[in-house]
Amino acid sequence: MDTDESNSEAIVILGRQFNKVLKRMDQRPRTNAEYISQDISRNNNFQRNTKTDEKSNQGKVVQCHEYEGYESEEEVDSETAKHIKVLTGICMSDEESCDGVLTYDELANSYKELSQE
């Protein structure tokens, strides 16, 4: 039971850190793309989510709760470092695997696709 709980805590912490990385990526300008946010806001055909759309998406959102008892972000990071070892392992599969390294953009795009489903 304690192992399951520590695995769950590690996953939550890693999820939070992944979300921080995604926020940083969204905030920095991309060097290979035009800055088009002003064009989007000027577009009259720009669609916004209605309240019914927001309500239908609420069931699909995973919510992480903050940990109690940590006094600073450094303590959370040191605790995360301990839990990362728990999640490290070898995953065997019948399918062919890709040994290539994912870039941050590829990782962010796959995360966004999965979160939209």
* Selection from 12-26, 71-85, 99-113 with the highest mean pLDDT: 12-26
State pTM to two decimals: 0.26
Higher pLDDT, 100 or 90: 100
List Cα–Cα distances, 65 to 15, 43, 71, 81, in angstroms. 11, 37, 16, 19
For residue 6, pLDDT beyond 60: yes
For residue 35, pLDDT beyond 70: no
CA gap 68, 77 in Å, rounded: 14
For residue 50, pLDDT beyond 60: no
Backbone region of residue 98 per phi and psi (left: phi > 0; alpha: psi in -120 to 50; beta: other values): beta
